[in-house]
Amino acid sequence: MTVTYVIDGARVTGLDRFWDVIGEAVNGTGGYFGRNLDALADCLHGGMGTPQDGDYVFEWRDHTASARALGHEETARQLRRSLERAHPSNRAALRHRLDEALLGRGPTLFEQIVEILRNDGPGTVRLV
């Protein structure tokens, strides 16, 4: 039997809110399912509430609202935050990604999250 986790895209207003929404979708109220992109990938590999046999699907409803909320503007905001605490050897690469996001180019947070869900998760993400 396949388990479906529903992400309510209308509730995603930014990255911080996304972590709450996906945590709740997988593990119930107050649930955790990552607080950064690396942790999300780890959760997908390590169970963290998902079925151990990997028979599950993410259904992202109203994904267009999430795509807007996690678009280039939010991506740039998060990159600015990362730049402030980044190791000096990583700052040039982050600065380049920030410049691209400010110009509306490069992958958005939404695109990165969908890619992680598809590549590290069950491989099935339905965008509805």
Domains of the chain: 1-71+109-128 (3.30.370.10), 72-107 (no CATH)
Pick left, alpha or beta for residue 106 (phi over 0 → left; psi -120 to 50 → alpha; otherwise beta).
Answer: left
pLDDT at 48 over 80: no
**Contact assessment for residue 120 and residue 34, using Cβ atoms and an 8 Å cutoff:** no
Quote the pTM value: 0.93
Local confidence band at 87 (pLDDT 50, 70, 90 cut-offs): very high
pLDDT for position 125: 84
Which helix H or strand E contains 24, and what residues bound it?
helix 15-27
Cβ-contact 37, 113 below 8 angstroms = yes
Q: pLDDT digit string (tens) for 1-32?
A: 788 999 999 999 999 999 999 999 999 999 99
